[in-house]
Amino acid sequence: MEDSISNEKLEKYFQLSSEARSKATPSTKNKDEQEKLADMLSMFDSYFSDARHFADSGDLVSAFGAINYAHAWLDAAVRIGLMDGHGDDRLFTLPIN
């Protein structure tokens, strides 16, 4: 069992979240949904930025927490249908059809 956070592991998660951010596309149906999605993407961007800051400061534990929290915002947006994850169940928890 692995019980430490390395720079390599952290970079893997940064890559995974960057890939997810690039792959998911909006699937909003109205202005209200667009506003909700904009808020969720803003949260992703903020947590991603925080994760980079923590990593650059050497605080790998906080960086790991922040990058996973960032990814969760994208995952939630796909799960509730505000974004299309294009069937990628490696990057997202897909909606139940």
pLDDT in tens, 52-68: 999 999 999 999 999 99
Whether residue 1 has pLDDT greater than 70: no
Dump pLDDT digits (tens) for 30-88: 999 999 999 999 999 999 999 999 999 999 999 999 999 999 999 999 999 999 999 99
Helices (H), 57-97: 60-79
Backbone angles phi, psi at 20, to 5 degrees: -65, -40
Would you state the structure tokens that stand for residue 46, as one six-digit string? 């903020």
Neighbours of 71 (CB within 10 A): 23
Superfamily of domain 8-14+30-97: AF1782-like (1.20.1270.90)
pTM of the full predicted structure? 0.92
CA dihedral 18, 19, 25, 28 (to 10 degrees): -50
DSSP run (H or E) holding 83: strand 83-84
pLDDT the model gives residue 95: 85
Residue 86 DSSP code: T
